[in-house]
Amino acid sequence: MLRTHTCGELKIADAGKKVTLSGWVQRSRDLGGMTFIDLRDRYGITQLVFNMEVNPTLCQEARQLGREYVVSIEGHVTERSNKNLKMPTGEIEITVEKFTVLNVSKTPPFTIEDNTDGGDELRMKYRYLDLRRNINKTNLELRHKMSVETRNYLSDQQFLEVETPYLIKSTPEGARDFVVPSRMNPGQFYALPQSPQTFKQLLMVAGYDRYFQIVRCFRDEDLRADRQPEFTQIDCEMSFVTRDDILDTFEGLAKHLFKKIKNIDIHDFPRMSYDEAMTRYGSDKPDIRFGMEFVELNALVKGKDFKVFDDAELVVGICVKDCATYTRKQLDELTDFVRKPQVGANGMVYVKYNEDGSFTSSVSKFYTDHDFVAIAHAMGAHENDLMLLLAGNAEKTRKALCELRLEMGNRLGLRLNDDYKPLWVIDFPLLEWDEDSQRFYAKHHPFTAPKPEDIPLLDTNPIAIKANAYDLVINGVEIGGGSIRIHNKELQKKMFEILGFTDEDAQNQFGFLMNAFEYGAPPHGGIAFGFDRFCAVFGGSDSIRDYIAFPKNNSGRDVMIDSPSEISQQQLGELAIRVVSS
Amino acid sequence: MLRTHTCGELKIADAGKKVTLSGWVQRSRDLGGMTFIDLRDRYGITQLVFNMEVNPTLCQEARQLGREYVVSIEGHVTERSNKNLKMPTGEIEITVEKFTVLNVSKTPPFTIEDNTDGGDELRMKYRYLDLRRNINKTNLELRHKMSVETRNYLSDQQFLEVETPYLIKSTPEGARDFVVPSRMNPGQFYALPQSPQTFKQLLMVAGYDRYFQIVRCFRDEDLRADRQPEFTQIDCEMSFVTRDDILDTFEGLAKHLFKKIKNIDIHDFPRMSYDEAMTRYGSDKPDIRFGMEFVELNALVKGKDFKVFDDAELVVGICVKDCATYTRKQLDELTDFVRKPQVGANGMVYVKYNEDGSFTSSVSKFYTDHDFVAIAHAMGAHENDLMLLLAGNAEKTRKALCELRLEMGNRLGLRLNDDYKPLWVIDFPLLEWDEDSQRFYAKHHPFTAPKPEDIPLLDTNPIAIKANAYDLVINGVEIGGGSIRIHNKELQKKMFEILGFTDEDAQNQFGFLMNAFEYGAPPHGGIAFGFDRFCAVFGGSDSIRDYIAFPKNNSGRDVMIDSPSEISQQQLGELAIRVVSS
């Protein structure tokens, strides 16, 4: 090794030792007769000192070292006179006796600091320099630890990690596939997996009982912020289980990660039906770190000549504690917020329950104080609280109020990064009706089993069927989702029929799975976690990109390696394809 | 859970317990008043017993259960009268009181037994049934354990697992890429990585110090037996190291695996130069489980009027102990063997050192007993030994003799599966000259550093340069290979020049890496192990396919899911490509 120690490990107890360190020049300070250099490696920073009086030649040479030069130094560990107790190595420095420049560096296009002066685009282009920043290193170390602990837990629970193929078969159902032309089979294509769903089910048919894989998945979607064309899943499946076995097992995984990574003990996760989550929070991924739950007010507010409420399918509000003193300006900001297209409300009604017991409201001409008392009572509001009400189409209004609730949570500091409140959302609808194509789509995927008691509805009222499906939600973020699968060929066939597949389509696309179900498929179910997002939630960040070593931008490009790119005519020819100019 | 225990865990101590088991019907035997069923799950087999006298209805129903039916049973653990001590559960059976058929099964197209009646093609088509066979389960369990222990060892050594992208950029150097058309960037393509080589080097530039990843790689090559278009590597890289640091670290990994997986302690691995390996064994991946080393005989055999030897560039032989009694037929077989096209010799000369001290040889008219004594002395042959000699072009002859040596090793039972003899082969040539294209190719890859002392030869005699590269070989199989990398932009540029890249080519394909080297690249090096092959060697098999859950056939097809396949015109249109009919 070109070092005896790393830059993160020398302590006061090492004083006097002769050491060799290697690393990067983080910064350099000339203080008259002394030159100090912070030498950085993955493990930390150690201060080097060069003394002009003791060794003027060496000190002069050290002054030539630029930022990000790679050097190897030899010297003795010395106790610092001016200790920095915030740094693990802050009690010592190295009195350098000799150094070698292992490589020079041009001046980086941005500073390698937590608060860098480099913009997003520049940092992506020079991602190998961006990754030197402490924050990115911490994120990737967290990701590593998450994967280690995930594997430890699942291996201890008898799960086998089985690698499934990346070159599979394109299926039109679901999101768009990335495809790979086959040179050996001209005119034919592989697809990259959107998930190993069918393979993990086949592994259950094969008797593997407990499978997992930390695996890359691919979706050729138009990228919104925080979507990546390739992303990583913790993909899991179990046999001979009921839903609660799966919830218990993976609640165990989440608790294990909270304990091992963040040293937090988390009690049993609440389980909330989809309907309840929609009613109480207007979301199937509620942030339950704070209350401010929805209160439906139709019965109290209708028939008082306020047309907006009278015409509304749903009038629903939240009670914001201790905010009756909100100013006109603050309330206008909130109205502007709910009117944003991505929130989608037409307006907002407020009712202030003033400290003196009176009410101030944007709709006071329609409602008496007596009405407001009733509303306040229904909403659990007291003096000094602010009630915010939205009205309109039920689904849209819930969505808008959900956004408003989260906004108020942010404004009031109720969404703390280090407060973790996971829950299971269960009993999702099995199907969604699509007006455009006039057909049902599977809300989860076509292999999801209905709740056993709802199976008769397949023939009578499919849209009312609840799926035996579940999501793990942490702090308003969907971390994972799964379901008990259909393991019966007839039921699977019926499901494909309801989804509008012809027999031929179903056979073409999923014939191998349906055939497999004829040879003794066990009852099974599973779950998949978005690993990038899991890491982001643990890291306290909104952006999965911060937890991916080499992410792509919103056009699906890797700007560092400049990909995708054109390929040669010879390659195209070998693959028997041609590019069609637009 | 639809069980209280698995089918592998009940012991005599559990006798009397009431249990629920779930699994597959492995086999069923009716013995007059009793019916015995072997119930199988991933963990083992447990015998169920149904008694016609005690419960005739249940017993009758049990007799209807077909092979591979999935059932859940309830009953009591009972001591067997007829114990089978070869089975972990062989002292008990379950007296069944109740059972439920969880799923039926058609009769499988082949038997689910270690020695199945199913051919390769049929088993691949029904891979989910093939995987039920014990041998495949054992292989995938071994693979899981290998990955767990690899990760444990490397994580303990401070390696970070970092996921690198699968959608990267096509580079013409090396094998053929699989490519992925980009819908969002029409006319442009991603490539699937042949290895994460450039990304792991960028991670070293980024200061990550120790990286690893168990990662899928892709090569669009014509498939020979035991090649797969997608395969898995243990990919590793380290900074601030010399070659020996890397060899020590990964020798540690191999020893860890031998100890943890096979409970074998292996001493330090020998290190042998490429030249020495070629001279002693005619191979850069010698099987050193047995001797029979090459002895070069030019000095002893030339000038005796035997034209074949006189004209040969090299005459080289092996001494086969105690085989002077080989018959004419046996010797003819060996001659036929060396003449096979894949071995490539024109003929074989034998010299028997008979028990009575005389010599019998196919070339006795050219050589005296005195000559044979000298040859025998050179070859370390004694009475009763057989000497086998080949002659011709040095490279071809070494290759052919290598094959003959391995054949003799097989015939004499010297290549034992449970005898592991790893070694490092080092000091490979840096370059190969290709006559067809009249250019040098990198023997390892273009990022491999020359041995420091050979750098001056870049300008004068490139073909003589040794690379700072190394392979890990176990029992004649190359398990892994790597090198110290070039970390200096000028040297990398020179390397590309020697390989015939124009500046523009080099910049287009590897510009991002060469640019990265301008910003403080540390000295670094690494290694990649073929994980599929590593597993096969540990499992004592020649075939990597046995260690892959869902392998492809020699045409790159997955016959189970019938992939690759055609995609829709709409998909082609979105991707701006067209299939060219041949």
One-character DSSP codes across B175-225 = SPPPEEE-SSSTT-EEE--S-SHHHHHHHHHTT--EEEEEEEEE---PPPT
For chain B, say whether A16 makes contact (Cβ under 8 Å).
no
pLDDT tens sequence across A3-47: 999 999 999 999 999 999 999 999 999 988 999 999 999 999 999
State the DSSP H helix or E strand holding residue B203, giving kind and residue range, or none if neither: helix B197-205
Q: Are A80 and A11 in contact (CB under 8 A)?
A: no
Calpha distance A52→A578 (Å, rounded): 68
Q: What is the CA radius of gyration of chain B?
A: 30
Q: What is the mean pLDDT of residues A215-220?
A: 96
pLDDT tens sequence across B185-200: 999 999 999 999 999 9
Residue B166 and residue A192: Cβ atoms within 8 Å? yes
Q: What is the DSSP letter of A240?
A: S
pLDDT tens sequence across A77-95: 999 999 999 999 999 999 9
Name the nearest CA neighbour of A431 among A489, A510, A526, A498.
A498
Residue B60: how many other CB atoms lie within 10 Å: 12
Cβ-nearest to B561 among A1, A168, A229: A168
Task: Quote the pLDDT of residue A173.
Answer: 67
Tokens representing residue B556 in the block: 């790159």
Task: Quote the pLDDT of residue A48.
Answer: 98
Task: Quote the pLDDT of residue B582.
Answer: 63
Task: Quote the pLDDT of residue A507.
Answer: 85
Query: What CATH number has the domain spanning A12-103?
Result: 2.40.50.140
Cβ-nearest to A520 among B68, B187, B576: B68
Q: What is the mean pLDDT of residues A547-564?
A: 94
* 3-class secondary-structure state, position A479: strand
Task: Quote the pLDDT of residue A246.
Answer: 98
Choosing among 3.30.160.100, 3.30.1360.30, 3.40.1710.10, 3.40.50.300, the CATH entry for B290-411 is: 3.30.1360.30
Residue ranges of chain B with per-residue pLDDT less than 50:
none
Task: Quote the pLDDT of residue A406.
Answer: 98
Check whether A191 has a pLDDT greater than 70. yes
Q: What is the mean pLDDT of residues A304-317?
A: 97
For β-strands A386-392 and A359-361, DSSP reports them as: unpaired
Q: What is the mean pLDDT of residues A385-393?
A: 98
> In one letter, which amino acid is B514?
M
Q: Which residue of B has its CA nearest to A4?
A: B240
Q: What is the mean pLDDT of residues A177-186?
A: 95
Angle, alpha carbons A131-B444-A167 (nearest 5°):
70
* 3-class secondary-structure state, position B530: strand
For β-strands B210-218 and B160-161, DSSP reports them as: parallel
Contacts of A209 in chain B (CB under 8 A): 6, 41-43
Which of B26, B129, B147, B563 to substitute to test the interface with A, most A CBs within 10 Å?
Answer: B563
Q: Are B365 and B279 in contact (CB under 8 A)?
A: no
* 3-class secondary-structure state, position B483: strand
Q: Are A319 and A386 in contact (CB under 8 A)?
A: yes
Check whether A582 has a pLDDT greater than 80. no
User: Could you name the CATH architecture of B136-272+422-569?
Assistant: 2-Layer Sandwich (3.30)
* 3-class secondary-structure state, position B434: strand
Q: What is the DSSP letter of A322?
A: T
Exposure b/e, B96-108, CB count within 10 A at least 16 = b: beebeebbbbeeb
Crossing angle (nearest 10°) for helices A134-156 and B134-156? 140
Calpha distance A1→A316 (Å, rounded): 66
Distance from CA of A124 to the nearest CA of B (A): 12
Q: Respond yes or no on whether ipTM tops 0.85.
A: yes
State the DSSP H helix or E strand holding residue A231, giving kind and residue range, or none if neither: strand A230-239
Distance from CA of B124 to the nearest CA of A (A): 12
Place of tokens 């320099």: A129
Calpha distance A415→A410 (Å, rounded): 6
**Interface contacts (A, B; CB < 8 Å):** 359
Greatest Cα-to-Cα distance within chain B, rounded to the nearest angstrom: 93
Q: Which residue of B has its CA nearest to A563?
A: B169
For chain B, the domains span 12-103, 136-272+422-569, 290-411
Which of B107, B128, B241, B508 to substitute to test the interface with A, most A CBs within 10 Å?
Answer: B128
Check whether A445 has a pLDDT greater than 90. no
Cβ-nearest to A180 among B178, B199, B205: B178
